[in-house]
Amino acid sequence: MRIGFDARMINWKGVGTYSRNLLKQFAQVPGLEVVCFSNKETNRYLPAGDNLIKTMLNEEVFSSRNLARIGQAVNRERVELFHSPYVVAPTGLECPLLVTAHDIIPLLFPKSIPSFRLRRTYKGLLADAVHKADHIITVSTVSQSYLLAHFGLALGKVSVILDGVSPKFTPRSEAEIEEVCAKYGIGRPHILWLGEFVAHKNVTALVKAFAALSARIRSHYKLVLAGEKGADWQQVRKETESAGVGNLVNFPGFIADKDLPALYSSADLFVYPSLYEGFGLPPLEAMACGTPVVCSNTSSLPEVVGDGGLLVAPRSAALSAAITEVITNGSLRQRLKRRGRERAALFSWHTAADKTLDLYRELAAKEA
């Protein structure tokens, strides 16, 4: 079987993690050829594999004007199916199109994309991809329900295939933890959050929750907010100052992918107060590393975290109470560590790839 895969987003957050892990699995499948359409920025991120065929495609992702050229490039490769892991649908394809729509966050929280032009482009690309696709994958039943309702789709057009957790996410040694903490200037003990500073991540509620902790807890713990700057970063910084905890909050910035397991392992607690997620990999990765998790009880997160974390309303008072309970209750902390690892073990990229391959075969067979 010969399929095409749009790998131009393989270095992105979220979509990139999804793409890299699927392609790593596909590289081990006998009889499968994957034509990976990448560009000069993303070509080096492609996994190794004799059956992963690199093809250059230097068209801009966020442009509806080049969709016909992308379709022509795909058609030249004579693939049996084309998989777009993002909501970009080429025009004029001569094979079935499979699109992965991870979520519709930019429609629900428009300011997650700071540029008005990009917001408008995304909305157009999403609607176009949803209606062009022969089939759609999404990553949780919550995302499926939003897609079905928003676009009026038939249930049979959207399949749920859950994301996985990379095997690299395991508890790390004290020596590795100390090395990574020193690299990023992170003190211990600490409470950790990781993500992008955008409004729906609800980081200001976490800052308020931290500020509301007892003086005894705050005198012992730092709050580490790790990740790239986003549209809400300045607002979060201002909130730390106005809440009087600016000196207790650490912003280490972007964390390299290879350092994430040690970062998760370094934390006494991982807190994820997001208002909406299509899936929510960070709490699952933290759980796999044996770190207790407090997580909001909204959108897909209960489906993903289950009983592996402590689920609470994404409000500062509830978050503060949950943090206090985990920090001060040793038996609860140990229970969350154990349950978290058990829960995370249920999510496998091998399983996700197998289910995706089943869809490939089904769609290609319909076309034959």
The CATH number linked to 25 is 3.40.50.2000
Q: In what order do the strands lie in the sheet with 249-253?
A: 249-253, 222-226, 190-194, 269-272, 293-296, 310-312
pLDDT band at 118 (very low <50, low <70, confident <90, very high): confident
Distance of CA 331 to the CA centre of its chain: 30
State whether residue 35 is helix, strand or coil: strand
Say if residue 273's pLDDT is above 80.
yes
pLDDT in tens, 288-319: 999 999 999 999 999 999 999 999 999 999 99
169 within some domain? no
User: 8 and 156, same structural domain?
Assistant: yes
Average pLDDT for the chain: 94
User: 186 and 84, same structural domain?
Assistant: no
122 within some domain? yes
Q: pTM higher than 0.75, yes or no?
A: yes
Mean pLDDT of 113-126: 80
State whether residue 33 is helix, strand or coil: strand
How buried is 43 (Cβ within 10 angstroms: 0-12 exposed, 13-18 middle, 19+ buried)?
middle
User: 284 and 144, same structural domain?
Assistant: no
List strand residue ranges (DSSP E) for the chain, in order.
2-6, 33-38, 52-56, 81-84, 97-100, 135-138, 158-160, 190-194, 222-226, 249-253, 269-272, 293-296, 310-312
Q: Print the domain residue range for 74.
A: 2-164+348-367
Pairing of strands 293-296, 310-312: parallel
User: 263 and 363, same structural domain?
Assistant: no
31 within some domain? yes
**DSSP secondary structure code for residue 250 in this structure:** E
Do residues 45 and 13 lie in contact, with contact meaning Cβ atoms separated by under 8 Å?
no
pLDDT in tens, 53-81: 999 998 888 877 889 999 999 999 999 99
Token pair for residue 58?
A: 């230097």
User: 156 and 102, same structural domain?
Assistant: yes
User: 316 and 252, same structural domain?
Assistant: yes
Give the pLDDT confidence score for residue 132 in this predicted structure: 94
Say if residue 201's pLDDT is above 80.
yes
Say if residue 368's pLDDT is above 70.
no
User: 326 and 245, same structural domain?
Assistant: yes
User: 288 and 230, same structural domain?
Assistant: yes
28-32, 79-83, 97-101, 124-128: which has the minimum mean pLDDT?
Answer: 124-128
- Quick one: how many helices (H) and strands (E) in the chain? 15, 13
Give the pLDDT confidence score for residue 62 in this predicted structure: 80
User: 255 and 202, same structural domain?
Assistant: yes
Say if residue 340's pLDDT is above 70.
yes
90: amino acid identity, one letter: P
Distance of CA 123 to the CA centre of its chain: 20
Token pair for residue 206?
A: 């976490």
pLDDT in tens, 217-270: 999 999 999 998 888 899 999 999 999 999 999 999 999 999 999 999 999 999
